Homo-oligomer: A and B are copies of this chain.
Amino acid sequence: MKKLKGALLLAQSGGPTCVINSTASGVFLTALKHKRIITNVYGAKNGIIGILNEEFYDISKERKKELKLLKNTPSSLIGSARLKLDDPDKNKTNYIKLLNIFKKYNIRYFFYNGGNDSMNTVYKISKFMKENDWEMRILGIPKTIDNDIENIDHTPGYASAARYIATSFMEIYKDSIVYNKPQVTIVEVMGRDSGWLSASSILAKEKGYGPDLFYLPEVVFSEKTFLNDIKKILKTKNNCLIVLSEGVKYSDGKYITEHYKNLNIDPFGHSQLGGSAAILAQLVRDKLNIKVKNIEFSILQRSASHLASGVDIKEAFNVGRLAVINGLKGETDKMISIKRIKNNPYTVNYPLVPLEKVSNTERKLPLNWILKDNTGLTKDFIDYIKPLIEGDPKISYKNGLPVYAKLKLELIKKR
């Protein structure tokens, strides 16, 4: 196949992770090695929004050293967006705009780094470009701390968040037992629809410093069960440590925050500013008359790059690198996936998966990996997650603080 000559454009989408910059590093450093075919290397400023505004960073202006440092720099240096394109059957406006922009800048390689929704977006874009005879190589690159994309062993970003969660649980556990007094600690973890992130705290439990109770979105939430579970734990020990997914739902399908919002009042007579853990903390205080702490990891679980997983950084770099290599081979309409070959030693390869097989799918934690009494996860899950959080990021520290990549981020002239 004749190699398609033209510009390469990387855009990122959705919430950041510790390692999407590592993916960008993989794309950029690899692309810059193929100057005879890849005429320009661009990063879209703030994802799809930047493309529609023709705001492209010229990556050839960046220093290699800084592009390497991207591997250990959290969040997205080129910026992200949360824009969902209309379906082209309903509204073609943006697709036509994209086509014209791709033509104007001779963009032939378009890589989109995101989650489920993004794989769907890139699928629709690719279809539209084909229908309009603009030849491109369009590939999806997976990214989400939620680990909920189908047809991939695990998503880049997940393992680093998992390592942060497990380490922080060890520290919280240690802190929570320091006084000789009964205490319940509820820690809220991200995950609107799946419990992958919360489940990772089992690694802390494996070490002897983890949660007693696990509440995940895959299992219907009941306050009665929740309170009984806590009472059971407090019969044998002074402290009860709980991991709570923000996305747990009551039997009516409502999230905890929705449940109390719709009543417009919480069980204690007032409505809520806090998250789910704050609501349940008040419930436990009220019903069990015990000291309760609630903690939210908030955005730290997706940005604490100082605790990123070495495996994750490497894999995130590789999916970026392989997008370029596969694009150059003529591959298109696919996502770079990760397939685990074995656990000892941990080995993966990176097959290509058709975009239609991953767009808008959503992978939940298998129900048979969740212990029925809410006290943990099975060995199958532990075997699954354990190798993923190995290895340290190669961060350089200066004055005790991490050194991040500094990019020039020069926008190209609009044509």
Tell me the bound Cα distance from A304 to B203 in angstroms: 17
Q: Does A168 contact B (CB under 8 A)?
A: yes
Contact call B386/A175, Cβ cutoff below 8 A: no
Partner of A279 from the list B172, B177, B273 (CB cut-off 8 Å) is: B273
Segment 204-252 of A: residues with Cβ below 8 Å from B: 204, 207, 209
Contact digits for A240-282, partner B, Cβ 8 Å, 1 yes 0 no: 0000000000000000000000000010001111100011011
CA distance A73 to B174 in the complex (A): 9
Stretch at the interface among A76-84, A149-157, A360-368: A76-84
- Pick from A58-66, A134-142, A399-407 the stretch touching chain B: A399-407
A300 — which chain B residues lie within 8 A by C-beta?
168, 171-172, 295
> From A266, which residue of chain B is reached at the shortest CB distance?
B273
Bound: A390/B400 CA distance, A: 4
The distance in angstroms between the C-alpha atoms of A37 and B55, with both chains bound, is 75
Closest CB in chain B relative to A274 CB, distance in Å:
4
* Contact for A178 among B79, B179, B295, CB less than 8 A: B79
- Expressed in whole angstroms, the Cα–Cα distance for A278 and B296 within the complex equals 12
Give the chain B neighbours of A15 by CB distance below 8 A. 178
Across-interface contacts of A402 in B (CB, < 8 A): 167, 170
Instruction: With A81-B180, A273-B282, A295-B296 given, name 7 new contacts (CB 8 A).
Output: A15-B178, A174-B303, A176-B299, A203-B400, A272-B273, A306-B307, A390-B399
Q: Which 3 pairs across A and B sit closest by C-beta, in order of nearness?
A: A389-B400, A75-B174, A171-B303
